[in-house]
Chain A
Amino acid sequence: MKRRSWPLLGILAFGYAFLYVPILLLILYSFNESRLVTVWSGFSFKWYGELMHNHQLLDAAWLSVRVAATNASVAIVLGTLAANALVRHGRFRGRSGFELLLTAPLVMPDVIIGLSLLLLFVAMQHTIGWPDGRGFTTITIAHITFSTAYVAVVVRSRLAQMDRSLEEAAMDLGARPLGVYTRITLPLIAPALFSGWLLAFTLSLDDLVIASFVSGPGSTTLPMVVYSSVRMGVSPQINALATLIVAVVTLAVLIAGISLRRDSKR
């Protein structure tokens, strides 16, 4: 039955290698003793130790995680509301306009989003005095604007696939609209909410361009630090940090996968 096809396995191996060898190399070099990123000289935890004392890098990482988490959490709420409006409320007035505006950030160049938001924030600060300076708040708001669009797309397709009669059945069995939403709709779109959240989190963690526009002094996100330090030569500390992030992400995905599987088995 199971015959191995070597060409197919070869293609598979190439595919995985293409995707994961760079990351594996990065992990490997984070344990490199040498200061030079490209030369292997021996195994060491040295850069992890130094990382623990590099407050600039750690602060940046902490800021990025805070921004990403806040962004993802707000975007999931807004995106889900938008998806609901699009899927559940038929042809309301201005529907196509709403749809266009919602998805525009998906195709808008980051530079334009960043610049326009910067102009907006500066103008707002002048007129209403808020946001006071640029930093965590402005970066988060900027990220929410485009993350919402991604979340809406993910949640929308899931909602559209969902059998409408499930909600009708719940209502027929006596559940009020809010109860229907919390007991039937939300549990059923939960996988989409979860992946939407992760997507928004990742997009935010990843963003360099927009953050560069709307951040201020003293609020530097991790990609900004990495990018500027690369220009001065990469420190192996960054490899160490990247390895830690990869470890955390892998763990999160594993836990999520296991809990989802257990949930569907139950």
Chain B
Amino acid sequence: MAATPERRLLEPWQDPKAAPYVRIERLTKQFGDVYAVDDINLNIFKGEFFSLLGSSGCGKSTLLRLLAGLEYPTAGKIYIDGVDVTRVPPYSRPVNMMFQSYALFPHMSVEQNIEFGLKQDRLPRKERTERIAEMLDLLKITDLRKRRPNQISGGQRQRVALARSLAKHPKLLLLDEPLGALDKRLRENTQFELVNLQERLGTTFVTVTHDQEEAMTMSTRIAVMEAGQIMQVDTPTAIYEFPTCRFVAEFIGSVNLFEGKVMASEGNEILVEAAAGFTIRMRSYQPHPLGTPVTVAIRPEKMRLCPAYDPNGVNQIKGIVEDIAYLGDVSIYRIRVGEGKLVEMTLTNIQPRTEQALTWEQEVAIEWSPTSGVVLSE
């Protein structure tokens, strides 16, 4: 059952020939007048750790429940491993779910909780015992097997819930805010454990989260959702570095947005005249006709202090430090440039704070590389 990680030239989602493991086609779920899931198309591949990321009410949980069969769609289809499961009831789907509240049965011991699903499958006793032992061992909760859910800690409950949902060896494991109920420190450790577990088992995981760090750390790919729609699906790196729309850029991390017009196009670079009164030179991966209004996104950590300001230099602007937020490892500076436009810059605090050069109201010059900007669609 341990999947051997293969070296592939192409990740499955880059390979047009790869068959998706979970195929979601034009899926819509309406509650009254509200479209919780609005005409979604999505492919998830075998062995992925896929995250649905979004703020509350964006439809990510509904999408997960549709996959579990706890809700039926208003329109559209869901295929799992090539089989149309759109109308298959939850108890007949090769899918298991770990609930946000864990939903452990309070009147059963840890062992009985894990055994519940196996009993429903009419597995012989010997196999059940083996499977329980395997799960207890996998999640290192063998000592807890006789306890009741109310006699163990939150972190232990999370493990039991995970063991219970993995016990049936589902084709697809759904996790609803799997780390939501844990405190911060435990959450960080558990993130890595969850990823290791997933890699070891090779099971396809689909998780729902509102925590972008969590999604970035764990996922092979992330789907950013908003108002029942998927705004962008991509790897964590691509989502962060190359957001395609304003929503995604602003939702993940912080970002400086500059509105402007395309002024010139030279080879694979374009010049954007920013409304704030300076010119941005940047890499562009698609053609932009001259005069098109665009929004350019630049991450604060891509900004740096400019040692030698040159009025004709590339992407160099002057400004005045207006705010400083000291976070320990980094400091965030807000720099006023042009007409009231604030630019955020993050600098790593290499020197102790007292040694820092920048202070309030100081005039500084900042710069960024032409490869740092991204053009967003609305």
Report A's interface with B, CB cutoff 8 A.
163, 165-166, 168-176, 179, 183-184, 187-188
Cα A187 to Cα B113 in complex, Å, equals: 14
Choice from A163, A174, A175, A176 contacting B103 with Cβ under 8 Å: A163
CB of B120 within 8 A of CB of A166, answer no
Which residues on A sit within 8 Å (CB–CB) of B90? 168, 171-172
Instruction: Write the nearest CB–CB distance from B147 to chain A, whole angstroms.
Output: 11
Cα A210 to Cα B68 in complex, Å, equals: 52
Query: Among A174, A176, A187, A188, which residue has the most Cβ atoms of chain B within 10 A?
Result: A174
Hey, what's the 0/1 contact readout for B84-110 against A, CB within 8 Å counting as 1?
000001111001110111010111000
Q: Which residue of A lies closest to B122 (CB)?
A: A174
Which residues on A sit within 8 Å (CB–CB) of B120? 173-175, 179
Q: Which residue of A lies closest to B99 (CB)?
A: A165
22 residue pairs of the A-B complex, CB under 8 angstroms, read: A163-B103, A165-B100, A166-B105, A168-B70, A168-B97, A169-B99, A171-B91, A172-B69, A172-B96, A173-B91, A173-B117, A173-B120, A173-B165, A173-B168, A174-B91, A174-B92, A174-B120, A175-B91, A179-B120, A183-B116, A188-B106, A188-B107
CB of A169 within 8 A of CB of B91, answer no
Which residues on B sit within 8 Å (CB–CB) of A188? 106-107
Query: A-B pairs with the 5 shortest C-beta distances?
Result: A174-B120, A173-B117, A169-B103, A165-B103, A165-B99
Hey, what's the 0/1 contact readout for B56-74 against A, CB within 8 Å counting as 1?
0000000000001110000
Cα A171 to Cα B107 in complex, Å, equals: 16
Which residues on B sit within 8 Å (CB–CB) of A163? 101, 103
Instruction: Write the nearest CB–CB distance from B303 to chain A, whole angstroms.
Output: 45
CB of A172 within 8 A of CB of B107, answer no
Which residues on A sit within 8 Å (CB–CB) of B91? 171-176
Decide: A171 near B168, CB < 8 A? Known: A163-B101, A188-B106. Answer: no
Q: Which residue of A lies closest to B120 (CB)?
A: A174
CB of A173 within 8 A of CB of B70, answer no
Which residues on B sit within 8 Å (CB–CB) of A165? 99-101, 103
Choice from B89, B95, B97, B168 contacting A169 with Cβ under 8 Å: B97
Cα A163 to Cα B102 in complex, Å, equals: 11
Which residues on A sit within 8 Å (CB–CB) of B92? 174
Instruction: Write the nearest CB–CB distance from A192 to chain B, whole angstroms.
Output: 14
Instruction: Write the nearest CB–CB distance from B120 to chain A, whole angstroms.
Output: 3
Cα A184 to Cα B117 in complex, Å, equals: 12
For residue B164, CB closer than 8 A to chain A, the reply is: yes
For residue B134, CB closer than 8 A to chain A, the reply is: no
For residue B121, CB closer than 8 A to chain A, the reply is: yes
Given contacts A169-B103, A170-B116, A172-B95, 16 further A-B contacts (CB under 8 A): A165-B99, A166-B105, A166-B106, A168-B97, A168-B99, A169-B99, A169-B105, A172-B68, A173-B91, A173-B96, A174-B92, A174-B117, A175-B91, A175-B120, A183-B116, A188-B107
CB of B99 within 8 A of CB of A174, answer no
Which residues on B sit within 8 Å (CB–CB) of A166? 103, 105-106
Q: Which residue of A lies closest to B164 (CB)?
A: A173
CB of A168 within 8 A of CB of B106, answer no
Which residues on B sit within 8 Å (CB–CB) of A170? 105, 116
Instruction: Write the nearest CB–CB distance from A224 to chain B, whole angstroms.
Output: 42
Question: Interface size (B, Cβ < 8 Å)?
Answer: 24
Q: Which residue of B lies closest to A162 (CB)?
A: B106
Which residues on A sit within 8 Å (CB–CB) of B89? 171
Cα A184 to Cα B113 in complex, Å, equals: 11
Cα A96 to Cα B100 in complex, Å, equals: 32
CB of B70 within 8 A of CB of A172, answer yes
CB of A173 within 8 A of CB of B101, answer no
Instruction: Write the nearest CB–CB distance from B221 to chain A, whole angstroms.
Output: 24
Cα A188 to Cα B106 in complex, Å, equals: 8
Which residues on B sit within 8 Å (CB–CB) of A168? 68, 70, 90, 97, 99, 103
Cα A185 to Cα B106 in complex, Å, equals: 11
Which residues on B sit within 8 Å (CB–CB) of A172? 68-70, 90-91, 95-97, 165
CB of B70 within 8 A of CB of A171, answer yes
Cα A171 to Cα B165 in complex, Å, equals: 12
Hey, what's the 0/1 contact readout for B155-199 against A, CB within 8 Å counting as 1?
000000000110010000000000000000000000000000000
Which residues on B sit within 8 Å (CB–CB) of A176? 91
Which residues on B sit within 8 Å (CB–CB) of A179? 120
Query: Among A163, A171, A176, A184, which residue has the most Cβ atoms of chain B within 10 A?
Result: A171
CB of A174 within 8 A of CB of B121, answer yes
Which residues on B sit within 8 Å (CB–CB) of A174? 91-92, 117, 120-121, 168
Cα A174 to Cα B68 in complex, Å, equals: 11
Cα A171 to Cα B117 in complex, Å, equals: 9
Cα A176 to Cα B107 in complex, Å, equals: 19
Q: Which residue of A lies closest to B109 (CB)?
A: A266
Instruction: Write the nearest CB–CB distance from A64 to chain B, whole angstroms.
Output: 34
B114-154 residues with Cβ-Cβ distance < 8 A to A are: 116-117, 120-121
Cα A168 to Cα B97 in complex, Å, equals: 9
Instruction: Write the nearest CB–CB distance from A45 to chain B, whole angstroms.
Output: 45
Cα A184 to Cα B103 in complex, Å, equals: 11
Cα A166 to Cα B165 in complex, Å, equals: 13
Instruction: Write the nearest CB–CB distance from A78 to chain B, whole angstroms.
Output: 25
Cα A173 to Cα B161 in complex, Å, equals: 12
Which residues on A sit within 8 Å (CB–CB) of B95? 172
CB of B101 within 8 A of CB of A187, answer no
CB of A187 within 8 A of CB of B107, answer yes
Instruction: Write the nearest CB–CB distance from A214 to chain B, whole angstroms.
Output: 40
Q: Which residue of A lies closest to B70 (CB)?
A: A168
Which residues on A sit within 8 Å (CB–CB) of B68? 168, 172
Which residues on A sit within 8 Å (CB–CB) of B121? 174
Cα A168 to Cα B104 in complex, Å, equals: 11
Cα A188 to Cα B68 in complex, Å, equals: 24
Which residues on B sit within 8 Å (CB–CB) of A187? 107
Which residues on A sit within 8 Å (CB–CB) of B106? 166, 188
